[in-house]
Amino acid sequence: MADETAKASNDRPVYRDPPNWILQHPKYLDFMRLDASDIAQVHAAFLVYMDLTEVRQWKCVSSFTCPKIEAVLLQGHRKEGEAAQVVLPLPAHRTLSHREVRCVLDRGAPMLLCAVASDSTLVYQRLSSGLVTPDPPVDIQDQGRRQQRKRRIPP
């Protein structure tokens, strides 16, 4: 704790805030070297990188920039041997134009958009170049046309 305290003139310890570990992380520094113009997007990319590698256990996660949208993108494999997926991490306050979305989708690889809220909540959405019919919920069964009838009790 020597880094976090110092002695004041009256020999009492003065506590300082610990250094921000994110700013010193080697991967964050790599993202900063990619010359993305938006620092908030770089921070979002780092949070998504940590989620993919540490929580979701993705393999071979790498980063690159897309100059047309000035953003850091991530690419990795959910499981060993699966096709690579590209993730576009964005702060929740940032918007994308239709042209920017088209630029990202034209890469050809499956694409995930990850919205990063100010409290570090991550929400992943799959992007596609058209409408995608969702899978039906697993727990809902077709109940057919059975109707519930009220039973009448004779007087």
Residue of 104 and 53 predicted with greater confidence: 53
- Where do runs of H (alpha helix) occur along the chain? 21-24, 26-33, 39-50, 98-105
Residue partners of 140: CB distance under 8 A and separation at least 6:
none
Residue of 111 and 149 predicted with greater confidence: 111
Q: What are 91's strand-pairing partners?
A: 116
User: Can you give the residue ranges of every domain in the chain?
Assistant: 20-127
Least confident piece of the model among 28-32, 51-55, 57-61: 28-32
Length of the chain, in residues: 155
Residue of 134 and 39 predicted with greater confidence: 39
Helix or strand run (H / E) with residue 146: none
- Could you read off the pLDDT of 74-133 as tens digits, one per residue? 999 999 999 899 999 999 999 988 888 888 888 777 789 999 999 999 999 998 877 677
Q: Which numeric CATH code is attached to 20-127?
A: 3.40.1350.10
pLDDT at 150 exceeding the cut of 70: no
Q: Are 117 and 94 in contact (CB under 8 A)?
A: no
Surface-to-core class of residue 87, CB atoms within 10 Å of its CB (0-12 exposed, 13-18 middle, 19+ buried): buried
